[in-house]
Amino acid sequence: MQQKLLLVYTGGTIGMVKDKKTGVLMPFDVDSLLAQIPQLEAIKAQIDAVSVPQPKDSADMQPKDWQFLGKLIYSKFMQYDGFVVLHGTDTMSYTASALSFMFTNLKKPIIFTGSQLPIGDIRTDALENVLTAIQIALLQENGEPYINEVGVYFDSQLFRGNRSTKISSDRFKAFASPNFPALVTSGVSLKVNDPVLVKANLNRVTKFSEVLSDKVFLLKIHPGITQQVLEQLCKTVDFEVLIMETYGSGTIFNAPWLAHLLEKLLKNGKNIINCSQCISGVVKQGIYEGSEQLKSLGIISAKGMTTESAITKAMCLLGQNKSKNEFKKHFETNFSGEMY
C-alpha cells in the first residue's frame, strides 16, 4: 500500500519572499512553496500539504499555535504514516518540545524542519532539509514507522525535538542537541541511531492533550542582578512556576535575601526549577555551596534539559492542574526522552 505523508506549513524563512516595496521577508503560500520542490514528484508516497490559516515568522508562535498544530496533526493522525512540519527556525525547538509533551505514546514521526535561506534562494538549504525530513518521516520497519518521536531535522541531522536548541542565526548548522546524540545522520545513506530512539508501545493508543498554562516565568541569573529587581519581579509577575537559568552545574550566588525570597515563593505554592545557562552538561545540585542551598530548599533540578524543554514541560504539567508535589514528581520524571 502506498505510504501517505502530511506536510504542514506554518511559515518561517523557508517559505518567505522579499516584499518588492520594503525588501522585508514575508511568508508566501504553501502552493508557491511546493512549486519550488519538483523533486517531490519522485518520492514514492502520497504527499498532501496543508497550511495553517496564517503562516508566520516563528517569533510570532504562541502556545495557542502549538495547540492548533497539535490538534491538526491529531485530527489526521490515522490517515497518515508521518508528518513533516515546515516551521521558522527561531522557535522551532519550543514548538517541537511542546508537541513532544502534548502527545503521549506517539506512534508516528512528527519531523520539524525549515531553512536559513528561503526556498527560492539559489543557495538555499531548504531543499535538502525538506526532502530528507520527508524521507526520514517515511522510514518504516515491518510496516511500522521507524521514528516515533517529535524530531528536528536540519543540516544532515535529526535531533530529538525536546533535546534540540537553535545555536546559530547564520550558519546552515542552525541546531544542536548538546546533551543527546543525533537520532539520524544523513550522508550518502541515512544512518539511524537505533539504540537511542524512543520506542512506542504498539499496544497502546497515541493520546493528545492540548492543555497548557502560560503561568511560567523564565529568569536568567547574572552577576549584578539586584535584590530590588528580583523582589519586584516576584511581586508583580503572575506565575506559578519560576524557571531560573543558573550558572554551570546549577549554581547561584549565596545571599541570605535570595534564600529568603525563594523560600517565600515556595511557601506560597510556587514551583521553582533550576535549569543551567550552559549549552551542555547537567544540573547537579549540591556539588557546590552555590547549589547546595537550592537543593535543601527543595528546588527542582532540570538535569540536562534544554530551557525550551523545561519551559514547555512546565506549561503542559501546569495545565493539568497537578498539586505542587505531583508537579515536582512529574517534572523530574522522564516523559518523552527529554531527560534520562
If one asks whether residue 114 binds ligand ASP (CB under 6 A), the answer comes out as: yes
- The piece of 85-93, 101-109, 268-276, 298-306 that touches ligand ASP (CB under 6 A) is 85-93
If one asks whether residue 129 binds ligand ASP (CB under 6 A), the answer comes out as: no
- The distance of closest approach from Cβ of residue 161 to ligand ASP in the complex, given in angstroms and rounded to an integer, is 15
Closest to 127 in 3D by CA, of 150, 98, 149, 156: 156
- Calpha distance 88→129 (Å, rounded): 13
- The distance of closest approach from Cβ of residue 237 to ligand ASP in the complex, given in angstroms and rounded to an integer, is 26
- Cβ-based nearer residue to ligand ASP, 128 or 240: 128
CA 14 to chain centre: 18
- The piece of 57-65, 94-102, 239-247, 265-273 that touches ligand ASP (CB under 6 A) is 57-65
- The distance of closest approach from Cβ of residue 14 to ligand ASP in the complex, given in angstroms and rounded to an integer, is 6
From 116, 165, 251, 312, residue interacting with ligand ASP (rule: CB under 6 A): 116
Amino acid at 31: D
From 7, 8, 12, 186, residue interacting with ligand ASP (rule: CB under 6 A): 12
- Cβ-based nearer residue to ligand ASP, 113 or 246: 113
Amino acid at 62: Q
From 36, 51, 67, 89, residue interacting with ligand ASP (rule: CB under 6 A): 89
Alpha helices (H) in the chain, listed in sequence order: 30-35, 63-75, 92-102, 126-137, 227-236, 256-267, 289-297, 307-319, 324-331
132 catalytic? Reply is no
- Calpha distance 164→122 (Å, rounded): 27
If one asks whether residue 59 binds ligand ASP (CB under 6 A), the answer comes out as: yes
Binding residues for ligand ASP, per CB under 6 A?
11-13, 57-59, 88-90, 114, 116
